[in-house]
Chain A
Amino acid sequence: MTFNLTVSPDFAPDHISGWYFFNTWLQRKLGVGIHLELYDSFDAQREDIRAEKFDLIYANPYDASMLVREMGFQAVVKPASKSDETIIAVNAESPFHTVEDLISGCRVATTDDPDVHTMGMIMLESADLDKNNTEIKQHSSYVVVAKNLLNGDADAGFFLKDAYDELSELIRSKMRVLVSSQISVVHHSLLVGPRMAEHIPAIQTALLTMHDDEKGKGVLESMDIETWEPMDSEQTEFMIDLIDTLID
C-alpha cells in the first residue's frame, strides 16, 4: 500500500526540494511507499484532505485542529524552535506607524493561509478594524502581497514571519513592520492519519533521531528545520484549544 503525504503550502519555494528529499528518506527508513503531493492553494489542499486523500500531513495549526478533532489524525512531531508568527507590514513610505493608525476602509492584502489571516485580523482589532470596515484582497502568495504594498495597491499586508524574512532584502527594505506577533506556542506539526497509525512509533523514532544521521541532517537542513521534537496528544489539544479561542 502506498501512503500519501502533503505539506501545508506556506513553506518557502526554496524548500520544495527539501520535502522531496524528506519523502525519499522517510520511505527508506519505514520501508513503505509514500507519494508526496504539494499544493499552491490552501483551499484546494483542504478539499483533498477532507476527501481523506492523505495519511501524513505537515499541517499548519489551523488545519491541525480539523485533522485531529474531525478526522482522527495524531500529531507526532513538531519542528524545534519554530513557531508560526504573523507580521503586519506597510510600505516603507506609508503614513501609518502603528496598527492604531490604520483607519476604516483601509485596503488589506492577505493570502489564503488561515493562521496568518486569522492572526492578522486579530491584530487589527485594536484599531477597531474587522472584515466589515476593511477592503480585504486575497492573493496567491506572500510575494504578491509584498508587491501590492510596494505598488501602493494595499495599505497593509499580512505575512507569515518566516515567509517575510525570506523575501529579498530589496523588497523588505521597501516595507516596514507595524507589528509582529509573539505567540510562541502555535506551530506546524506532522500528523499521521488513521490508515497509517500502526507506523506511528516507527515514524516518531525515525524523526526524533533524524538529526543524528548524516543523510537525515542534510535533509533537515534543506527543509530549514533543525530537529524534530515530540508532540503528545495533550500538547496538540492545548494548541487546538488556543486556536479555537481565536476563531469567532
Chain B
Amino acid sequence: MSEQDTGEVRTVEIAYFDGTKRTTDIVDREVPYPDGKLIVSRTDPQGIITHANQAFIDMSGYSEDELIGTNHYILRHPDMPAVAFKGLWDTIEQGTKWHGYVKNLRKDGAYYWVKATVIPNIRNGQLVGYTSVRRKPSRSKIVESEALYKTLLAEE
C-alpha cells in the first residue's frame, strides 16, 4: 500500500475518448498486487472485453458478467493521463507490443498498479483483438510512474 494513501473519497467525472462520461467515487486506497498472479484479458479490436481471467475479476472487483462486453476503459483511473493511453493505442495499432505501468481503477473506487503488456492478436493475417497481461510492478517503478503521470496530467 502506498504511504501517501489517505483513504479520502472524491467524486469525479471521467470522460472517455469516445465521448461517453461517467461519474464515480474514487478512493485513495491502493490494493496490493497479488504475488505470482497474472491478470489476463482479451478485447476485440475496439477494446471491448471478450475474456477475463479470475485474477482480473478479483482485482477489478467486477464480476465476469460485468466485464465481458464492456470497454476496457472502465478500468481507467482519473490519475492516468490520456497521453499514456494514446501511446498504447498508437503502438498496438501498428502491430507492436506495448509495455507500460498503469494505475487501474477498481469498481469500489480503490486502485491497483500493474506492469501491463498488450499485444495484437493476429489470425490468418487479420487483427482479431488484443491480449493484455498485467504483472506485479516494483515499488520504485510505481513511484517513478506516479511522478511522471502527475506532470503529464498537469499539462493536459
A242's partner among B133, B139, B141 (CB-CB below 8 A) is B133
Q: Is B100 an interface residue (CB 8 A)?
A: no
Q: Is A89 an interface residue (CB 8 A)?
A: no
Q: How far is the CA of A103 from the CA of B37 in the complex (A)?
A: 21
B97's partner among A125, A128, A237, A245 (CB-CB below 8 A) is A245
Q: Is A40 an interface residue (CB 8 A)?
A: no
What per-residue 1/0 map shows which CB atoms of B27-39 lie under 8 Å from chain A?
A: 0000001111110
Q: How far is the CA of A247 from the CA of B131 in the complex (A)?
A: 14
Residues of A within 8 A of B133 (CB): 242, 245-246
Q: How far is the CA of A100 from the CA of B33 in the complex (A)?
A: 13
Q: Is A127 an interface residue (CB 8 A)?
A: yes
Q: How far is the CA of A97 from the CA of B97 in the complex (A)?
A: 34
Tell me which residues from 111 to 141 in chain A have a Cβ below 8 Å from any Cβ of chain B.
122-123, 125-128
What per-residue 1/0 map shows which CB atoms of A92-119 lie under 8 Å from chain B?
A: 0000001110000000000000000000
A125's partner among B38, B53, B118, B135 (CB-CB below 8 A) is B135
Among the stretches A43-51, A178-186, A213-221, the one at the interface with B is A178-186
A244's partner among B97, B115, B137 (CB-CB below 8 A) is B97
- With A183-B37, A185-B53 already in contact, the answer to whether A244 and B119 are too (CB < 8 A) is yes
Docked-complex contact B53 and A181, CB < 8 angstroms: no
Residues of A within 8 A of B119 (CB): 241, 244-245
Q: Is A11 an interface residue (CB 8 A)?
A: no
- By secondary structure, the A interface counts as helix
What per-residue 1/0 map shows which CB atoms of B96-133 lie under 8 Å from chain A?
A: 01010000000000000001011101010000000111
Q: Is A39 an interface residue (CB 8 A)?
A: no
Q: Is B26 an interface residue (CB 8 A)?
A: no
Residues of B within 8 A of A125 (CB): 115, 135-138
Q: Is B40 an interface residue (CB 8 A)?
A: yes
- With A125-B135, A185-B53 already in contact, the answer to whether A241 and B121 are too (CB < 8 A) is yes
Q: How far is the CA of A183 from the CA of B55 in the complex (A)?
A: 9
Interface centre among A123, A126, A127, A244 (most CB of B within 10 A): A126
Q: Is B76 an interface residue (CB 8 A)?
A: no
Q: List 30 A-B contacts (CB under 8 A).
A: A123-B136, A125-B115, A125-B138, A126-B33, A126-B137, A127-B138, A128-B138, A128-B140, A128-B141, A179-B35, A181-B36, A181-B38, A183-B37, A183-B38, A184-B53, A185-B40, A185-B53, A237-B121, A238-B51, A241-B131, A242-B38, A242-B133, A244-B97, A244-B119, A245-B117, A245-B118, A245-B119, A245-B132, A245-B133, A246-B133
Interface, chain B (partner A; CB < 8 A): 33-38, 40, 42, 51, 53-55, 97, 99, 115, 117-119, 121, 123, 131-133, 135-141
